[in-house]
């Protein structure tokens, strides 16, 4: 069986820019606030690279060891957008990582976006407010 994980289409809005990206729902990314970890290329598109003076430099402990990041509090709004539904818009902290190769959705952000993962291995998910039979496939 192909292991898919769960990826969703996000609209990331900062000021007058709205950028569409595919983001990984990462159940192991535990946070205290809704956070979207982004690679440098996306931080640059959002006008957040190099990090602004208000960015907080921090070190996250990860399974792969310590990771240096920059956190910009309340830096953007995100929502999940699929062909037949849209989540509410959520204000997020943008976490910039030079090692991330794709955007990562924290556990708190997944909850705020009302994402219910039904099967990580098969890449199945739905919005919490949808019937349990309404299964959506992960984005590629």
pLDDT in tens, 74-133: 999 999 999 999 999 999 999 999 999 999 999 999 999 999 999 999 999 999 999 999
Predicted confidence (pLDDT) at residue 18 exceeds the cutoff of 70: yes
Taking residue 108's Cβ as centre, other Cβ atoms within 10 Å add up to: 18
d(CA 117, CA 104): 15
Band of the pLDDT at 2, cuts 50, 70, 90?
Answer: low
Interatomic CA distance for residues 49 and 33, integer angstroms: 21
Q: How many domains does the chain have?
A: 1
Q: How confident is the model at residue 136 (pLDDT cuts 50, 70, 90)?
A: very high
Q: Cβ(92)–Cβ(36) under 8 Å? A: yes
pLDDT above 90 (res 35): yes
For residue 80, is it within any domain?
yes
Encode pLDDT of 42-81 as tens digits.
999 999 999 999 999 999 998 889 999 999 999 999 999 9
Domain limits for position 63: 7-126
Is residue 109 in some structural domain? yes
- 55 belongs to a structural domain: yes
Q: Is residue 85 in a domain?
A: yes
Q: Which pLDDT band, with edges at 50, 70 and 90, does 4 fall under?
A: confident
Classify residue 76: in a domain, yes or no.
yes
> In this structure, is residue 83 part of a structural domain?
yes
Domain CATH for 111: 2.40.70.10
- How far is Cα 94 from Cα 71, in angstroms, rounded to an integer? 6
**pLDDT computed for residue 107 by the predictor:** 97
Asked if residue 2 is part of any domain, the answer here is no
Residue 44 lies in a domain: yes
- Per-residue CA distances from 58 to 18, 32, 77, 100, 102 (Å): 27, 14, 22, 15, 19
């Amino acid at each position: 069986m192909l292991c898919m994980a769960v990826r969703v289409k996000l609209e990331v809005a900062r000021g007058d820019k709205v950028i569409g990206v595919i983001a990984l729902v990462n159940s192991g990314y535990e946070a205290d606030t809704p956070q979207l970890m982004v690679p440098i290329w996306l931080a640059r598109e959002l006008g957040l690279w190099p990090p602004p003076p208000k960015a907080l430099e921090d070190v996250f402990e990860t399974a792969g060891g310590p990771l240096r990041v920059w956190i910009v509090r309340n830096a953007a709004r995100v929502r999940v957008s699929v062909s037949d539904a849209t989540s509410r818009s959520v204000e997020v902290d943008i976490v910039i990582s030079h090692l991330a190769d794709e955007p990562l959705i924290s556990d708190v952000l997944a909850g705020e976006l009302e994402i219910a993962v039904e099967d990580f291995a098969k890449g199945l998910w739905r919005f919490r407010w949808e019937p349990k039979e309404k299964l959506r496939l992960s984005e590629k």
